[in-house]
Amino acid sequence: MLAPSQRIGHSRDFTRAVRHGRRVRRGHLVAHIAPADEMTRCGFIVSKAVGNSVIRHRVTRRLRALCHDQYADLPPSSLVVLRALPSAGAASFDALRADLRQIAGTVRTR
């Protein structure tokens, strides 16, 4: 589970990452990554297009667990917003993990 200090909690941070951050799309996820002044923080956008409430919350829990596991691979001092595409509702945990690993690898090499 991500600690509260590792989560994005303000809408202005979501807005800054989505509008001004670098965008990387892989599989079922789109990542918006923007520089931050402090430690890396993660946030999630899971719209109704993903599925009903149960499915959306399942996807959010999976993304939260994946960010906790992959936290060291994410860019340091950045805002990372993961937006789930509609196909994420039917995706397995392993598929989402592979997508996040590809995103982290792409961001590291740029």
Contact 37, 43 (CB under 8 A): no
HSE-CB at 8 with a 13 A cutoff on CA atoms is 28
Q: Return d(Cα 80, Cα 71) in angstroms, integer.
A: 10
**What's the domain range around 95?**
4-109
- Average model confidence (pLDDT) across the chain: 94
3-45 confidence digits (pLDDT tens)? 889 999 999 999 999 999 999 999 999 999 999 988 999 999 9
Q: What is the pLDDT of residue 48?
A: 98
| Number of domains making up the chain | 1
pLDDT at 70 over 70: yes
Residue 28's domain is classified under what CATH number?
A: 3.30.230.10
